[in-house]
Amino acid sequence: MKIVVAVDSPRGAEIAAGLRREGMDVLAVVQASVPARAAVDGMLGDDAQRVVRALAEAEVLVLEVNRESATTAVVSACDRAGVRIVPLAGEPAADRIVSAFGLAEPLSLDVEAWAVVDALLRGPSLAPLPEARVTHGGPPIIAVWGAAGAPGRSTIAIELAVELARGGRHVALVDADTHSPSIALSLGLADEGPGFAAACRQADLGGLDPRELTRIATPLGKNGVDVLTGLNRPSRWPELTGPRVTGALAACREWADFTVVDVAASLERDEEIVSDLDGPRRNAATLAALCAADLVVAVAGADPIGVSRFLRAHAELRATIGATPIAVLANRLRPGSLGIDARGQVRRTLDRFGGIDDVWFVPQDPRSADAALLAARPIAEVAPKSPVTLALRRFVGEAIVPAPATVPARAGRSIRRSKAAA
């Protein structure tokens, strides 16, 4: 097994010597911060160049974890090269750092070489996330996420819900954005009702069931979409705690055939910048929804700034959700800011810098989007032949519901709704 050791001296040399005695092939031994510098710029000194060459051949990186050595660039580079990271605890915050990146539980910096080899042979044991993941099963939850900068998350979430409702399916559309909730405003719904915050409170009390969800949800016309509206004031974000959101989404699985969740952009785990480590977290709702999701639809703005922001945040998203599938949607595609071959430019950039080789495109259609906003209705209802509607219909038909029999609609759902409402 070919290994690169990135541990500060003299401990790095000791670990490398022990690994060689265990029969491992140690390609390089460098300071802990060198891979981070090499991931940013491979021309920074002989050590960085040696690490770049070694990682191209290596299978394992033994890394002393601290704030300087464990970075998004390092984890992304190792993911693209297929290099497994074995973290060693270099400081007290190592557990939080490896949890943020979804790495295995860190070993002690004083660990013997044979224990490192034993950990490699056993396979990874992932560190637990701050919020427990739900057991996935039953009707799927789809989280719609996008990097900062308004790439169109809420619009995509609304249109996905409408498209998924075709064929008689019952779809729950949830606004879990704790920074800038906007689904109620976009659809002309009253945001003073109970909404998702009430569902979270009921889940916390153990009283959330399909009948209660039917009572507090707002139907979007007669198309089979029920909306759990978001917070009417962003200052109410402490109501959406991680456990509450997890419980509410688990109840949605029993209520709807699909649950589409609109979440905020920020993925920060802000334990280190607040004094109360047990207090509420503004991004807990986003993290809990992403961890509960069976599929994450990641929305990127199809322009140079949007793609750049998306690439910087994509590695953090992958570290947050682990092996959950991601479907990338490049939204508002237009040739003006990217040249003639806009689609090819976006595809090549995402592939080269993010290792993303499967991208779906949604063209820009300002006329239909403006008409939908004016009417406070989904684009699919105002402009059924809009390029946006057709692109998302194809995405749903090929990426989410490839065959009508894959996720059959539950018979009698509309009848149960009528009875519950009565």
Summarize pLDDT for 78-103 with one digit per residue, the tens: 777 778 888 888 677 777 777 767 67
Residue range 19-47: mean pLDDT, rounded? 76
What are the backbone dihedrals phi and psi of residue 283, each rounded to the nearest 5 degrees, phi first?
-95, 5
Q: Which residues contact 369 (CB under 8 A, 6 or more apart)?
A: 155, 379, 388
Contact present, 107 and 116 (Cβ < 8 Å): yes
pLDDT of residue 270: 60
Class for the domain spanning 141-421: alpha beta
- 42 vs 312 pLDDT, higher one: 312
Q: Does residue 300 surpass a pLDDT of 80?
A: yes
pLDDT tens for 128-186 read: 433 333 344 557 999 999 999 999 999 999 999 999 999 889 999 999 999 999 999 99
Report d(CA 54, CA 250) in Å as an integer: 45
Q: Does residue 60 surpass a pLDDT of 60?
A: yes
| Confidence category of residue 72, pLDDT binned at 50, 70, 90 | confident
Residue range 220-241: mean pLDDT, rounded? 91
CA distances from 320 to 85, 100, 291 (A): 16, 6, 7
Residue range 326-347: mean pLDDT, rounded? 89
Contact present, 316 and 75 (Cβ < 8 Å): no
**The whole model's pTM is what?**
0.66
Residue whose structure tokens are 């427990």: 132
pLDDT of residue 278: 56
pLDDT of residue 123: 55
- Strand, helix or coil for residue 313: helix
Percentage of the chain modeled with pLDDT above 90: 48
- Strand, helix or coil for residue 384: coil
Amino acid residing at 10: P
Report d(CA 172, CA 170) in Å as an integer: 7
Token duo for residue 198: 């009430």
Q: Looking at the chain, which residues constitute the CATH 3.40.50.300 domain(s)?
A: 141-421
pLDDT of residue 6: 85
Report d(CA 55, CA 78) in Å as an integer: 8
Contact present, 356 and 328 (Cβ < 8 Å): yes
pLDDT of residue 222: 86
Q: Looking at the chain, which residues constitute the CATH 3.40.50.2300 domain(s)?
A: 2-122
What are the backbone dihedrals phi and psi of residue 254, each rounded to the nearest 5 degrees, phi first?
-85, -10
Contact present, 217 and 228 (Cβ < 8 Å): yes
| Confidence category of residue 3, pLDDT binned at 50, 70, 90 | confident
Closest CA to 260 of 168, 196, 178: 196
Residue range 352-378: mean pLDDT, rounded? 94
Token duo for residue 121: 């042979």
Residue whose structure tokens are 């033994």: 62
Q: Does residue 127 surpass a pLDDT of 70?
A: no
Radius of gyration of the chain (CA): 24
CA distances from 397 to 48, 332, 400 (A): 46, 20, 6
| Confidence category of residue 411, pLDDT binned at 50, 70, 90 | very low
Residue range 323-339: mean pLDDT, rounded? 89
pLDDT of residue 409: 45
From 101-115, 186-200, 241-255, the region with the lowest mean pLDDT: 101-115
pLDDT of residue 421: 41
Torsional class of 189: left (φ above 0), alpha (ψ -120 to 50), beta (otherwise): beta
CA 324 to chain centre: 8
* Residue 297 buriedness (CB in 10 A; 0-12 / 13-18 / 19+): buried
- 77 vs 185 pLDDT, higher one: 185
- 357 vs 37 pLDDT, higher one: 357
**Residues 156-182, buried b or exposed e (16+ Cβ, 10 A)?**
bbbbbbbbbbbeebbbbbbbbbbbebb
pLDDT of residue 390: 94
Residue range 312-317: mean pLDDT, rounded? 92
**pLDDT averaged over the chain?**
84
Q: Is residue 60 within a helix (H) or strand (E), and if so which, with residue range?
A: strand 60-65
Residue range 241-256: mean pLDDT, rounded? 95
List the CATH code of the domain at 2-122.
3.40.50.2300
